[in-house]
A and B are shown apart, each in its own frame.
Chain A
Amino acid sequence: KAGVTQTPRYLIKTRGQQVTLSCSPISGHRSVSWYQQTPGQGLQFLFEYFSETQRNKGNFPGRFSGRQFSNSRSEMNVSTLELGDSALYLCASSQSDPGSPLHFGNGTRLTVT
């Protein structure tokens, strides 16, 4: 099976712009989650989607949003970018069973200047 695919791998944006990141989960995985990874804050949970519905949400401002399509692919959007949004954004998919591990993509490195 193909792994989790995230595009693009790298992005450079300017403060105030918006950005959309894409994630294709492993085939058959209906849960897709997004995490922000920074040196100072570590791995922070953004949100989880399951069957096109947001199932959980972390403590991030409303500038961070996401969605999931019927084929389980997911996108996350960040509007009005701030310098502090510079981070590695990781997408993970998992099966529905409790205890199923997360399968991560290689991430999108976002740099805001």
Chain B
Amino acid sequence: AQSVTQLDSQVPVFEEAPVELRCNYSSSVSVYLFWYVQYPNQGLQLLLKYLSGSTLVKGINGFEAEFNKSQTSFHLRKPSVHISDTAEYFCAVGGRFQGKSTFGDGTTLTVKP
């Protein structure tokens, strides 16, 4: 069984400040980890993914995430956020069949001017 916990439901931050969105996961098998972003009235789009190899993965829009196997975490970071980063962010774990991914409850990132 797989589960994902996003530790913060809402994260307010000022423009140009750094941000970290936290995600813990559990899985009994090897996992693939993803972060997706959802803007209002849209579907989800992929930010980045971890399949194997380097534990630091870089994604679109300046985001990066670090896979920590011992802490079963996959936190998302950005050194300097913009107003346009305001959105909901989802952490997800996928197994052998990607169609059946398990998503966290989401973190709403609000960037204030």
A residues sitting closer than 8 Å to B (CB atoms) are 4, 31-33, 35, 42-43, 45, 48-50, 55-56, 58, 90, 92, 94, 98-107
Contact = CB atoms under 8 A, between A and B. Distances in A.
Contacts of A99: 32, 49, 51, 94, 98
B113 interface: no
User: How extensive is the interface on chain B, given as a class?
Assistant: 20 to 34
Contact of B99 (A4, A32, A90, A106): A32
Contacts of B98: 31, 94, 98-102
21 contacts: A31-B97, A31-B98, A32-B99, A43-B90, A43-B103, A49-B99, A50-B99, A55-B97, A55-B99, A55-B100, A90-B44, A92-B99, A98-B98, A99-B49, A99-B94, A102-B98, A102-B101, A104-B36, A104-B44, A104-B45, A105-B43
A37 B58 CA distance: 27
A107 B38 CA distance: 11
B100 to A, nearest CB: 4
B91 to A, nearest CB: 11
Nearest to A49: B99
B32 A98 contact: yes
Interface of B: 32, 34, 36, 41-46, 49, 51, 90, 92, 94, 96-106
A17 to B, nearest CB: 24
A98 B99 contact: no
Contacts of A45: 100-102
A31 to B, nearest CB: 5
Contacts of A32: 99
Given A43-B90, A90-B44, A106-B41, A101 B99 contact: no
Given A99-B51, A99-B94, A101-B34, A94 B99 contact: yes
Given A98-B32, A99-B32, A99-B49, A31 B43 contact: no
